[in-house]
Amino acid sequence: MVELDFERRLERLFADYPELPDAGSFAERVERRLDAGWTARRWLIGAAGVVGGVIGASQLMLSNVFQRVETAGDSARLLTSSLNHISTGTDWVAALSNGGTAVWVAAGLAVIMMGFVLTRVIGEI
């Protein structure tokens, strides 16, 4: 019992530590390190995004995507003219025939979506 009593009092002694005079500046140092880590993380994510974008763009260029889009446009034109022979034609096929406008619109939407997703991911992290 005496033993337990002493241990309780010792725990209280350990728990009672006076506030140090530089407690405020210590907290500020920790906050600065947290901020520095946060900034570094944002830069890292940003840099990763730029690198990913550059790689993606270069891959698009290398795979001759623009040439393929033009080919797709030509094919669409051919398809439209063929369909015109059969029926009166449809609007969406006609849109494709205008130099692949729909493909560009879809690509633009995809880029906007990717930008939105990236912003959300950065926000979450």
Tell me which residues touch another protein (CB under 8 A). 6-7, 9-20, 23-24, 26-31, 33-35, 37-38
Q: Smallest distance, Å, CB 119 to another protein? A: 15
- The smaller minimum CB distance to another protein, of residues 35 and 74, is found at 35
d(CA 19, CA 21): 6
- The smaller minimum CB distance to another protein, of residues 26 and 104, is found at 26
Q: Three-state DSSP class for 18?
A: coil
Q: Smallest distance, Å, CB 51 to another protein? A: 24
In the DSSP assignment, the letter for residue 98 is T
Sign of CA dihedral 40, 42, 46, 51: positive
d(CA 122, CA 62): 29
- The smaller minimum CB distance to another protein, of residues 19 and 91, is found at 19
Q: Smallest distance, Å, CB 10 to another protein? A: 5
Q: Smallest distance, Å, CB 5 to another protein? A: 10
Residue with tokens 């830069």: 43
E strand or H helix that includes residue 64 = none
- The smaller minimum CB distance to another protein, of residues 34 and 78, is found at 34
